[in-house]
Amino acid sequence: MQIYKVESNPETGNPMTPEQFLELARVLPEPLLLVSGEGQLLATNQPVADMLGLHRKELRGKMLFELVTEPASDIVKYLQACSSSRAMVIGSLTLRKNDGQTLICRSQGAVIQPWSCKFSALILLRLENRTLASSNFVLLNEKIGELAKEVQRRKQAEEALKKANQELEIRVEERTTALQETLKELQLTQTQLIQSEKMSSLGQMVAGIAHEINNPVSFIYGNLHHAHKYTQDLLKLVQIYQQFCPNPLPEIQEQIEEIDLNFLIQDTTKLFQSMTVGAERIQEIVKSLRNFSRLDEAELKQVNIHEGIDSTLMILEHRLQARHEYPEIKVIKKYSQLPNVTCYPSQLNQVFINILANAIDALEVSAKNGEWSTVNSQITENGKLSKNNPQIQIKTEVIDKNWIAVSIADNGLGINEQVRSKLFDPFFTTKNVGKGTGLGLYISYQIIVEKHDGQLSCFSVPGKGAEFVIRIPVNIMSAKLPIIKEPQPQM
């Protein structure tokens, strides 16, 4: 699912407006709706109108309940789920078209502005024709259904043949077990396809935004040098006039004093320097967005691992900043000199964002409890232990000529052994319903271990934070991973 990141701060009274939504959605081909938490349509784009066979003017002010066949209570529950979840919420809506027909769509909803006492929630819905988008999933579901029926038939046959010879009974049991495992794998594959589609949509959105931003920024940055030069030429001309005309007319002298010419001359250079720094910062952000999406790098490619980590941190930067309920999360980088690594860049970035997002979640839980681990605590001048701030430490190192390691550690409250032993199991999560699927670390494990022939480990002691260590070969064809002792979590 694709969700467009829009900075919005309800506390400052600057939520995303329908006009801003339309400006963003105008360049996008997906059918998008901006609705309130109560279901009122605030804005739509043209693909939605085309899907319904209506004009966009006819959609203004309507309620979402008027356009779908589902009961209003179901729609309210869905919007509430979108409003209260930080993750994208997938649902199904049956639209009433203008010609009287219905269209089943898959909906992907995410909250842009959470509900507060000052503002209603703003929810972005992306619609997709379910017949087209889910053809692969339909076929997969049919296969799962067929296998489920086959499992049932095998079980019935097992009961009917109990009195048969022991060898045949064992074969039936083995076949039944194999089919059950296959069914479980297919169900897991179905969920992984959904997760992969979400990451693919995120990558496409990020690449699209980076492209749209890069063009106007390039115009601005390219013209700043010429604008500065022209301005300096004009100021030099003014200075020459002042040399040859030291006593200007009263009208000219009055205008010089009114515009504070001396200050203007001094401040002009600072203005251009500030604008240049700002344009360069935007170019760095665009570069990070492109590095994160890496849509053209689905195959093996040599990349700089640090660039992937930095671009992922930029994507998550809004969650690292201080908010009214959470303090700032400090990121400490301890990068070593790494060689370029032959890997699947976009998949490796998915691992980084999964692990870093989990670390941030853990630190937010610690913030609610007002507790941090004592890892990396410092002693003040009066001999007292200083209070830690939430931290994430990212460390890279070369193990040997064939292997590198990346460790991501937080100083949260840590993980007990019972939970740690299940971290990489599919569908295992300690988060509340709607806030986690239990697939992030499982998929990360598959990417590192199966796709890159590497190793992903978690080390944690309750009260001393948690550390995830990724070990991958510089080249997938390298030698077998050396045996390494488990480190203690450290910040």
Q: Which amino acid, 77? A: K
More confident residue, 3 or 432: 432
Identify the pLDDT of residue 384: 40
| Of 190, 106, 194, nearest in space to 147 by CA | 190
CA distance 428 to 426: 6
Same-domain check for residues 234 and 310: no
H-run or E-run covering 186: helix 166-244
Looking at the structure, tell me whether residues 409 and 337 fall in a common domain.
Answer: yes
* Interval 222-239: pLDDT, tens: 788 788 888 888 888 888
Residue 489 lies in a domain: no
> Do 372 and 412 touch, CB atoms closer than 8 A?
yes
| pLDDT value at residue 383 | 42
- Whole-number Å distance between alpha carbons of 483 and 481: 7
Q: Check pLDDT > 80 for residue 412.
A: yes
> What mean pLDDT comes out for the span 137-154?
73
Instruction: List, in sequence order, every residue forming a beta bridge with 301; answer none if it has no partner.
Output: 343
- Pair 345, 351: CB distance under 8 Å: no
Highest-pLDDT range among 79-83, 116-120, 385-389: 79-83
Model confidence at 341: pLDDT above 70: yes
Identify whether 5 is part of a domain. no
User: How many domains would you assign to the chain?
Assistant: 4
- Tell me the average pLDDT of the chain: 77
Task: Give the separation between CA 274 and CA 168, rounded to whole angstroms.
Answer: 81
Least confidently predicted of 52-61, 145-154, 277-286, 449-458: 277-286
- Quote the pLDDT of residue 88: 85
- How far lies 82's CA from each of 47, 88, 89, 138, in Å? 22, 7, 6, 25
The larger pLDDT score, comparing residue 140 to residue 368, is at: 368
Per-residue pLDDT, averaged over 379-399, amounts to 69
Q: Which residues contact 24 (CB under 8 A, 6 or more apart)?
A: 4, 6
Instruction: List, as one string, the DSSP characters of 227-248.
Output: HHHHHHHHHHHHHHHHHH-SS-
Q: What is the mean pLDDT of residues 87-113?
A: 88
Q: Which of 200, 234, 252 is the last residue of a domain?
A: 200
Q: Residue 12 — pLDDT band, cuts 50, 70, 90?
A: very low
Instruction: Taking the CA atoms of 46, 50, 51 and 56 in sequence, report the sign of the dihedral they define.
Output: positive
Q: What is the pLDDT of residue 6?
A: 36
For 245-260, where are the alpha helices, taking DSSP H only? 250-259
Arithmetic mean of pLDDT, 471-488? 65
The pLDDT score that the predictor gives to residue 267 is 81
**Domain carrying residue 211:** 206-291
Instruction: Look at residue 375 and tell me whether its pLDDT is greater than 60.
Output: no
Are 265 and 315 in a shared domain?
A: no
Instruction: Check the CA dihedral 77-80-85-86 and report its sign.
Output: positive
Q: Identify the residue whose tokens are 């993980």.
A: 415
pLDDT, tens digit, 9 for 90 and up, residues 294-338: 544 456 888 899 988 988 888 788 888 887 778 889 999 999 999
Answer whether 0.75 is exceeded by the pTM. no
Q: Please report where in the chains the tokens 């488990």 appear, as a residue.
A: 486
On whether both 337 and 448 belong to a single domain, the answer is yes
Share of the chain above pLDDT 70, in %: 74
User: Do 266 and 402 lie in a common domain?
Assistant: no
Is residue 334 domain-resident? yes
In this prediction, residues 266-284 reach a mean pLDDT of 77
Whole-number pLDDT of residue 139? 64
Residue that is last in its domain, among 132, 161, 190: 132
**359 and 446 share one domain:** yes
Q: Quick one: pLDDT at residue 331?
A: 93
Residue 266, in any domain of the structure = yes
Residue 441 domain-assigned?
yes
Which amino acid belongs to residue 351?
V
